């Protein structure tokens, strides 16, 4: 009986540690800058895009070019095409941030998938954030600064080290839902050289590597 109680206590301790929020030890600080200094500005940016995941025990893989464009009207578009020019999806946001799905292939045309892809792209372009909700936190004795903003469901954290944006995280009060590693911003306003999206719950990843060559659209 005593052995059973000891094992039960150990299981409870391990469970509580595993379920501990990664944001519980954040220290709130007064902000002198805003995360929006990292909002990218672009006319056009092209990325090699690789999507890998597992759905109902089946692996899937997509690869191609993800093209970001900003039109003269202020509308932003994100177009994902394969190497032969087939468009997987075409999404756009007007100057006020209103979303429109122009085109998507049938395999991706699911409400949950569209919602997830839209959120991924909006986190990068910093669209759909409640600006007045911004709060600054620090972690690990000030080594990381976390700018938290509300979105429709949960939060987005823009995480900096040495005044450089290194990670973006979508989270709720308990856990990280999506983690995005950010690499190589030439300036605060530049599009990153690379991004790696890790969807913790949905079990898929997106790898983006910036390329300089033009493609036919």
10, part of any domain: no
143, part of any domain: yes
SS3 127: coil
Q: Would you state the pLDDT for residue 1?
A: 53
| DSSP, residue by residue, the chain | -HHHHHHHHHHHHHHHHHT--TTTT-EEE--SS-GGGG----SEEEEEEEEEEEETTEEEEEEEEEEEEE-TTS-EEEEEE-TT--EEEEEEE-TT--EEEEEE-TTT--HHHHHHHHHHHHHHHT-S-EEEEEEEEEETTTTEEEEEEE-SSSEEEEEEETTEEEEEEEE-SS-EEEEEEEE--SSTTSPPSEEEEEETTTTEEEEEEEE-S----
Q: pLDDT of 16-32, one tens digit each?
A: 445 568 788 889 999 89
157, part of any domain: yes
Q: Would you state the pLDDT for residue 55?
A: 62
216, part of any domain: no
| Total of domains in the chain | 1
Q: Would you state the pLDDT for residue 22?
A: 78
Lookup result for tokens 């890998």:
52
CATH number of domain containing 48: 2.50.20
5, part of any domain: no
Q: pLDDT of 61-92, one tens digit each?
A: 889 999 999 999 999 999 999 988 899 999 99
12, part of any domain: no
181, part of any domain: yes
Q: What is the mean pLDDT of each run of 10 residues along the chain (217 residues)?
A: 48 48 86 95 96 73 94 96 93 96 92 93 97 94 92 95 96 93 92 96 91 59
SS3 28: strand
The domain containing residue 116 runs over which residues? 22-211
187, part of any domain: yes
**pTM (2 decimals)?**
0.86
């Amino acid at each position: 009986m005593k052995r059973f109680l000891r094992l039960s206590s150990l299981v409870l301790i391990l469970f509580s540690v595993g379920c501990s929020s990664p944001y519980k030890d954040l220290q709130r600080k007064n902000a002198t800058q805003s995360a929006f200094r990292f909002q990218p500005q672009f006319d056009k940016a092209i990325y090699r895009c690789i999507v890998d995941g597992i759905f109902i025990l089946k692996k899937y893989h997509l690869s191609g070019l993800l093209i970001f464009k900003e039109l003269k009207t202020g509308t932003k578009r994100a177009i994902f095409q394969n190497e032969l020019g087939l468009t997987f999806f075409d999404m756009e946001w007007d100057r006020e941030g209103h979303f429109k799905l122009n085109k998507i292939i049938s395999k991706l045309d699911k409400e949950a998938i569209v919602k997830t892809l839209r959120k991924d792209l909006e986190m990068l372009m910093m669209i759909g954030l409640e600006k007045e909700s911004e709060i600054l936190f620090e972690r690990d004795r000030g080594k990381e600064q976390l700018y938290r903003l509300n979105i429709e469901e949960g939060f987005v954290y823009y995480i900096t080290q040495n005044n450089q944006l290194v990670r973006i995280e979508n989270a709720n009060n308990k856990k990280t839902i999506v983690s995005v590693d950010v690499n190589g911003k030439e300036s605060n306003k530049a599009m990153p050289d690379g991004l790696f999206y890790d969807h913790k719950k949905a079990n898929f990843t997106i790898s983006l590597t910036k390329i300089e060559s033009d493609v036919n659209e």
